[in-house]
Amino acid sequence: MLEVKLGRLELRNPVLTASGTFGFGREFAPFVDLQRIGGIVTKTLYLARRRGNPPPRIVEVTGGMLNSIGLENPGCDAFESEMLPGLVERGVTVVASCAGERREDFPIVAERVDGMDGVAAIEINVSCPNVKKGGLDLGTNPEIVRSIVSEVRSVTEKPLIAKLTPNVTDIASLAQAAVEGGAEMLSLINTISAMAIDWRSRTPILGTGTGGLSGPAIKPVALRFVWQAARAVDVPIIGIGGIASAEDVLEFLVAGASAVQVGTANFYRPTVSETIVDELERLLESEKVSSVRDLIGTLRVEPRVVTAR
């Protein structure tokens, strides 16, 4: 009923957790049965440990939150020796999110992760809006996205996902560029570039000035992007943005996603990913839908003519 197949990547259900919002899984192991969810996407990995941005790095806003974590991470060696073994032991489907400090580093990190047996797929994060050097610029330029994806493609046999930024006007050309570069799946959206201000002190609240907006506020934006990307390319799409319930998941599936990732909701409801899987089963049964696969890309967009009177 819940199994989905995203090209070569088979998942027990379509509910993954999103990069940077679920640590490396073990932090959530006391609350969530990690085997029950479709899989986890790790915090974005760099080759070496990164400290991230200066605080404050998170602020709550209406309908969501802003972050400028700056891709703090433990580096590939610590991930492989300290974090991955526990996940493999538990039978968790692990997707490793990879990026580079510089454009040339992406394939180096991907090649390092390619050698790790317990990693089921690689998601390249060509879309982080928080790293001053490159993140946003790299991810908004289709030519650069195509070439980073193809460089990564040439060093790994693992299923490859390209995670796209929403900070563009034309998602179709970005999606096409990633697929031309060799991405077998796309995931979207990353956070939306945004800002919070303390007017009394006349200062931005985040240490870096701007950050990325996530949470329920971005769900309608994410649905629109997923729908447009699904119409532009012929590869499985993973929908991300404000998902917090089974109803949200099904909206993304109807829009064209084959699976989803749950992000910010993990912060305010740590058990949410597993709850969504339970809810999904009940919802499909009560609606007499025999498989989630039957709903993927079923949005009916009929022209509605409004006649002025």
Ligand X SMILES: Cc1cc2nc3c(=O)[nH]c(=O)nc-3n(C[C@H](O)[C@H](O)[C@H](O)COP(=O)(O)O)c2cc1C
Q: Which residues bind ligand X (CB under 6 A)?
A: 18-21, 43-44, 67, 69, 71, 97, 125, 128, 163, 190-191, 214-215, 218, 240-243, 262-264
> Tokens 């070569």 appear where?
8
The residue (of 13 and 97) whose beta carbon lies closer to ligand X is 97
The residue (of 44 and 156) whose beta carbon lies closer to ligand X is 44
**Shortest approach of ligand X to residue 308 CB, angstroms?**
38
**Shortest approach of ligand X to residue 270 CB, angstroms?**
14
Cα–Cα dist 184/161, whole Å? 6
Of the candidates 94, 90, 59, 67, the residue with the CA atom closest to the CA atom of residue 80: 94
**Looking at the annotation, which residues are catalytic?**
128
In order, the DSSP letters of the chain are ---EEETTEEESSSEEE-TTSSTTSGGGTTTS-TTTSSEEEPSPB-SS-B--PPSP-EEEETTEEEE-----B--HHHIIIIIHHHHHHTT--EEEEE--SSTTHHHHHHHHHHT-TTEEEEEEE---SS-TTTHHHHHH-HHHHHHHHHHHHTT--S-EEEEPPS-SS-HHHHHHHHHHHT-SEEEE--PEEEE-EETTTTEESSTTSEEEEESGGGHHHHHHHHHHHHHH-SS-EEEESS--SHHHHHHHHHHT-SEEEE-THHHH-TTHHHHHHHHHHHHHHHTT-S-GGGGTT-------PPPP-
The residue (of 93 and 125) whose beta carbon lies closer to ligand X is 125
**Shortest approach of ligand X to residue 64 CB, angstroms?**
7
The residue (of 167 and 191) whose beta carbon lies closer to ligand X is 191
Q: Which amino acid is at 157?
A: E
Tokens of 64: 């969501």
**Shortest approach of ligand X to residue 90 CB, angstroms?**
21
**Shortest approach of ligand X to residue 50 CB, angstroms?**
10
The residue (of 256 and 263) whose beta carbon lies closer to ligand X is 263
Residue nearest to ligand X (CB): 20
Cα–Cα dist 283/291, whole Å? 11
**Shortest approach of ligand X to residue 244 CB, angstroms?**
8
The residue (of 50 and 153) whose beta carbon lies closer to ligand X is 50
